[in-house]
Amino acid sequence: MSEKLQKVLARAGHGSRREMEAWIAAGRVSVDGEIASLGDRVETDAKIRIDGRAVSIRSEEEVVCRVIAYHKPEGEICSRKDPEGRPTVFDRLPKTRDSRWVAVGRLDINTSGLLLFTSDGELANRLMHPSNEVEREYAVRTFGEVTDGCIQRLRMGVTLEDGPAHFDKVKAAGGEGMNKWWHVSLAEGRNREVRRLWESQEVQVSRLIRIRYGMIELPKSLPRGGWIELPIEQVNYLRQTAGMDEETRSLLGTDKHSVARNKVRSAKIKRAVHKHKVASGRPKPSRQRS
């Protein structure tokens, strides 16, 4: 069956559906030698090029949905390339074959914490859609006086330049004097919304860390700039949240980075076992020549 071009390209991991629609509208995509138009439908045997470069497309059955959790440091931007040469969140991600990682939302340059990437652009597109109100939790360090009335207004709602907004939860998390930590959550992803909510109360945000996306938490052992691939159970939680069928396969542990780590771990175990045998005086098994 034919499918919309932007959906096919997104599913194959060439970008989010919104990105693919923009590329098609800009004339960057061709199908069987003809410049594509928005609304075009294609079969799986179509010859598709982006900027003149042939790209692979796969049927839904051939695509394995992968998701990684990345601990974004401050100072990185959520773009693939930056004219100013600043580091991007894509610089340290693992390489993929015949696809690329698509970010699920964004964090601004001064925000750190959990950022999800997927090889399935359709999943990213659905999770980012306003109809999928996925709760996000942040650890916030504020500078300034925070009164009970301020917290009440942030919970009940205030009017920002792009409409009303509020925190679903606000919980004190320690700190001294004018510097306090809070855990806040909301189900929207508007630009700089957490910072703007606090600023509406004349309170400055000095640190902002995303610590949870839905039920996916930032692993405490994951260093800044590090990533980890999510197991199929968490992948399917996200797919269920986005109204998509469950994934039945996983490539977890098959990439070269995971394989290398497993080899190192295996070697350490073997050395430890050998050392234990020597210390306990157990003889090594003899080898018989045939």
Long-range contacts from 155-158, C-beta under 8 angstroms, 24+ separation: 158/197, 158/200, 158/201
Strands 112-118 and 204-213, by their bridges, are parallel
* Active-site residue list: 108
Beta-carbon contacts of 156 under 8 Å, excluding residues fewer than 6 positions away, are 166
- For 2-14, letters b (16+ CB in 10 Å) and e give eebbbbbbbbbbb
Question: What distance in Å separates the CA atoms of residue 196 and residue 47, rounded to the nearest whole number?
Answer: 46
End-to-end CA distance of the chain: 60
